[in-house]
Amino acid sequence: MITVIDRTLSVLKDPSSPSALRRLADAIFASGADVIEISESNYRILSQEKPDGRFLLRLERGSSPAHFPGVKRFVSTGSAAGNVVMSEEYIVNGLDLLLSGAVPAVLRPVRLSLSTPALDCSPATLFSAIRNTFLGHIEFAPHGDSGIATSLCAEWALSDGNMPVTTVSGVGGYASLSDLTVFLRSIRRRRPAEKQLDPAELLERLREAFPNETVPATEMKVSPSSSIHILKFRLEQLGFGGSPAKLKTLSSKIRAGHRTPSPYLDGAAIFAVSRQID
């Protein structure tokens, strides 16, 4: 079972009203999130409506789980060792130390906050280093470029990682909740929603709750190292699914290392590759 943790309500602050925040939280659950990470301030705004056990609370420095008796799960940077209900956040800005194997093994649950590297790194090598270092439950939270973060979370799910972290429309540079859940359903790693929420409605509720927030136009990106499942999913999203021969040729060109204008390909770059083989 893959558990999608969405942290939009811990990234964004100062909502327009408690009711708008509640409607956004409901929309996030309806869009495929199993757990919502929420900040202390946003939790207090919702506290009159008694948020249920599907919420994970981000503790501020100096706070204690004892201050929130109704909450069962927490995440914090520098949390107290031995607290089994809390994921301790590890912030990794560079892969060299992680890939070196020099980091002592960590047994407790962790939130791995990983600055997104170029997608031409080997996911298999990266994930092996992560699993050799963090031996307990891992909440996988790449961020920086939301398109790359979405692809890495998809690769993580394909490699049996079961707790990817997202935000609505990739706010804050995290994986896109909508793109990731659609991908997971396409590879049968998630059950179809009983009632699929229109992504436009989700964005409308986000803008209602946080009217001053700039919502990025996130786009899942691929590279020569991307799994064939991700390549196929992305190409079909762009309308290439009707031609198996063209899909195979495009996938081969991407895997061959097309590097203009960057190590990864967005939609415009994929169309540029397609024109080369027409």
- Give per-residue pLDDT as tens, 207-220: 999 999 888 778 88
Name the fold adopted by 5-209. TIM Barrel (3.20.20)
Q: Which residue, chain included where needed, has tokens 């599907």?
A: 54
Q: What is the mean pLDDT of residues 161-188?
A: 92
Cβ count near 50 (within 10 Å): 7
Please report how many Cα atoms fall inside a 13 Å half-sphere around the Cα of residue 226, on the Cβ side: 36
Contact 168, 28 (CB under 8 A): yes
Q: What is the pLDDT of residues 101-133, one digit of tens each?
A: 777 888 888 899 998 876 667 888 889 989 988
Cβ count near 241 (within 10 Å): 13
Distance CA 226, CA 222 (A): 6
Most trustworthy range by pLDDT among 120-134, 170-184, 208-222, 240-254: 170-184
More confident position, 121 or 203: 203
Query: Alpha helix locations (H) across 118-187?
Result: 123-133, 146-158, 177-186
The CA–CA distances, whole Å, from 159 to 113, 203, 227, 236 equal 18, 30, 10, 22
Helix (H) or strand (E) holding 24: helix 18-30
Residues 6+ apart with CB under 8 A from 112: 90, 92, 130, 134, 138, 139, 140, 141
pTM exceeds cut of 0.85? yes
Contact 161, 140 (CB under 8 A): yes
From the list 3, 2, 34, 36, the residue with the least C-alpha distance to 22 is 36
Largest interatomic CA distance in the chain: 63
Q: How confident is the model at residue 81 (pLDDT cuts 50, 70, 90)?
A: very low
From the list 226, 225, 221, 254, the residue with the least C-alpha distance to 237 is 221
pLDDT at residue 180 is higher than 80:
yes
Would you kindly state where each structural domain of the chain is located, as residue ranges? 5-209, 228-277
pLDDT at residue 67 is higher than 80:
yes
Contact 5, 33 (CB under 8 A): yes
From the list 31, 16, 157, 139, the residue with the least C-alpha distance to 75 is 139
Contact 171, 142 (CB under 8 A): no
Distance CA 116, CA 119 (A): 8
Helix (H) or strand (E) holding 143: strand 138-143
Amino acid at 49: E
Q: Please state which of the ranges 28-37, 152-161, 255-264 shows the lowest mean pLDDT.
A: 255-264
